[in-house]
Structure 1
Amino acid sequence: ISMKCMNSYLDRAQSELNCRLGEFGHYCPVCLAVLHHLVDCSETAALTHAAEYKRKYYRICGESHLQAFLSTPDEFLAPCCPHDLPQPYLLPRKLTEFQVKNKFPQQAEMKGFCPVTYIDGKQRYEALVQGKLEYAVEYRGRLYIFETKQKQDKFLRMPETYWDQKLPCKVPPLCEPVSLTSLPTLGYLEQGAGVPVIKAMTAVGSLKPKFPFVSIQRSALLYVAFYLKAFNPNGTNSTRQKYKKKLASFEENSELIPYLSLVMRGGYKPPSERPVDFDFKLNRFLALKVLGSNGGL
């Protein structure tokens, strides 16, 4: 009941906020007035830096700007504000990769090169860097993609500085992605599974496991198989956890041979002089004989 009341209160508070937002919507009026930056606060769920003035709500980007707004709010609002918020159709907005793909056949401006990197790099040839679909923005009906999230945020703050550019006649060659399935077998394995296999081989080479009653070659192969399953980024979390436990158990069982060979050196020792866990580990070692000889691994 308490959670239901809290959710109901939050829903009503959010509804009231949307109804009573001032003329700047979710944009920070201080950033717009002082820096002429468009800083969208809508992605911040908390209202820690929100202010109420003349029965209107205003979203502020941070503590320093909040204090400035509270001290002299009229300086940041019409008619004293030096800059008006652009019309909604002139505001930039982020796009997801899915939204970008749904805009096909519309192409990204500047052939996909990052406009922020190009301008900040003084429009040199070296500053022509391909953007990534995960950092996309729509502005004035055009599509732009950026090198990093920081460059995307910079465009969102100052779109007028970066939006209208022309590429030089000479540009770097576009790097088209190569499908893995189009590669020959060795190339497919190298690009698709090279890094995980190298990590698995490094791990088995460092540990050099020898499972009881199993050959060295088969022990290494089993360890690599468990390792690849345990750290497969494409596997489900439950599958990875399952094989991480198998890998840990395999490592523990492989330690039985050096342990027993060290403890059992020399003559006979009565039970009172043996390590506490000796009998347990010896019985565990002998029980693995059936598992190893039957190929139950």
Structure 2
Amino acid sequence: MCTGQAACIHRLCITPMQLQSRLGEFDQYCPVCLALHHHLVDSSENVSLAHAAEYRGHYYKMCCRDHLECFLATPDQFVNPGCPYTLPQPHLLPRKLTEPQVKNRFPQQVEMRGFCPVTYLDGKQRYEALVRGNMEYAVEYRERIYIFETKQKQDKFLRLPETYWDQKVPNKLPPVCEPVLLTSLPMLGYLQQGVAEAIIKAMTAVGCLKPKYPFLSVQRSALLYVAYYLKAFNHKGSDYTRKKYKQKLALFEESCALIPYLGSTMTRNYKPPNEHPIDFEYKLRRFWALGDLPGANGVL
């Protein structure tokens, strides 16, 4: 590597231990993000060195290709003393916490009574912006614990913790929404919350198709179609069951299509067999065979 110039260290067989021993003053935080935007962007989760560079005997990791090229072009702008900002002390850096880690910190409570600080501040600290965070997206900062609505909100806090950490929630807070067991609802409420969406989709599908199965009534055909549809698209069913009933549904639709096909093909005037479509005889035999099945004529 040329003296006084920065160079990419990708594919130079540098071990994690060697990288750690020669990291510059920004550890694994992107110096370009810090200098240009005052953002803390931790690159430690990315083990690749595709966006890493060596300068004056130290290693620096950037968050993306564009920032690597900026660093390589003018490295003095992004390292001390040229960088306008310094990396905070380790105890002042935010770090992600897993859900078990948050629970192990009991009796310490999460800040802001569990509301997402990013959503609240970005929502101009209005009452409507009080949205409860998810324990899956937790961060420790200044020995305090914060939880966030989404991963995107968590990442935003990690970049700009100083912007979001010191907030107070109002005295009036949204009520806590306790989960209600589906089986505790009355029958009408149970059906509305449990199966209404699935039934609406099934009814929409049968209304669009208007199936008429050979030798069955329109009502019986519609009921069978809805039953197959519910089984085929039951997200709580097994893969085997869904696949099985999707095949039954497809076969049912093919059988229903026989009636309009034969109705349009069989005219009042006699046609010799050689003038019929090539699949006419097969579909006609299949149509009559459905009438011989057990349960035909409305009892399928």
Give the corresponding residue for 1:84: 86
Cα distance in 1 for partners of 2:43, 2:238 equals: 35
Residue 200 of structure 1: how far off its partner (Å): 0.6
Give the corresponding residue for 1:164: 166
Structure with greater helix share of residues: 1
Query: Are the equivalent residues in 2 in contact too, given 1:214–1:292 (CA < 8 A)?
Result: no
Cα distance in 2 for partners of 1:164, 1:245 equals: 58
Match of 1:249 among 248, 251, 256: 251
Residue 216 of structure 1: how far off its partner (Å): 2.8
Match of 2:155 among 129, 153, 156: 153
Alpha carbons of 1:286 and 1:134: their partners in 2 closer, same or farther (altered >3 Å)?
A: farther
Range 17-26 or range 282-291, more displaced: 17-26
2:62 paired with 1:67: no
One-letter amino acid matched to 1:268? Y
Give the corresponding residue for 1:270: 272
One-letter amino acid matched to 1:221? L
Give the corresponding residue for 1:175: 177
Residue 281 of structure 1: how far off its partner (Å): 0.8
Give the corresponding residue for 1:197: 199
One-letter amino acid matched to 2:208? S
Give the corresponding residue for 2:116: 114
Cα distance in 2 for partners of 1:19, 1:219 equals: 73
Using the size of structure 2 for normalisation, the TM-score is: 0.81
Range 80-89 or range 223-232, more displaced: 80-89
Give the corresponding residue for 2:37: 35
Give the corresponding residue for 1:5: none
Alpha carbons of 1:64 and 1:120: their partners in 2 closer, same or farther (altered >3 Å)?
A: same
Give the corresponding residue for 1:3: none
Give the corresponding residue for 1:184: 186
Cα distance in 2 for partners of 1:285, 1:258 equals: 11
Cα distance in 1 for partners of 2:105, 2:227 equals: 43
User: What is the CA deviation profile of residues 60-105 of structure 1, one whole-angstrom value per residue up to 9, with x for unaligned ones?
Assistant: 1233322221123233234544433344454333445666566666
Match of 1:214 among 213, 216, 240: 216
User: Superposition pairs for residues 277-288 of structure 1, below 5 Å?
Assistant: 277-288=279-290
Query: Are the equivalent residues in 2 in contact too, given 1:49–1:60 (CA < 8 A)?
Result: yes
Residue 133 of structure 1: how far off its partner (Å): 4.1
Q: How high is the sequence identity, in percent, across the aligned residues?
A: 67
User: What is the CA deviation profile of residues 136-162 of structure 1, one whole-angstrom value per residue up to 9, with x for unaligned ones?
Assistant: 333344332323443222111011221
- For structure 2, the 5+ residue unaligned runs are 1-10
> C-alpha root-mean-square deviation of aligned residues, in Å?
3.2
Query: Are the equivalent residues in 2 in contact too, given 1:108–1:145 (CA < 8 A)?
Result: yes
Residue 10 of structure 1: how far off its partner (Å): 11
Query: Are the equivalent residues in 2 in contact too, given 1:213–1:293 (CA < 8 A)?
Result: no
Cα distance in 2 for partners of 1:107, 1:209 equals: 58
Q: What SS is found at the alignment partner of 2:139?
A: strand
Q: What SS is found at the alignment partner of 1:51?
A: strand
Q: What SS is found at the alignment partner of 1:138?
A: strand
Range 241-250 or range 16-25, more displaced: 16-25
Alpha carbons of 1:284 and 1:45: their partners in 2 closer, same or farther (altered >3 Å)?
A: farther
Cα distance in 2 for partners of 1:139, 1:216 equals: 65
Query: Are the equivalent residues in 2 in contact too, given 1:213–1:292 (CA < 8 A)?
Result: no
Alpha carbons of 1:87 and 1:285: their partners in 2 closer, same or farther (altered >3 Å)?
A: farther
- For structure 1, the 5+ residue unaligned runs are 1-8
Residue 44 of structure 1: how far off its partner (Å): 4.3
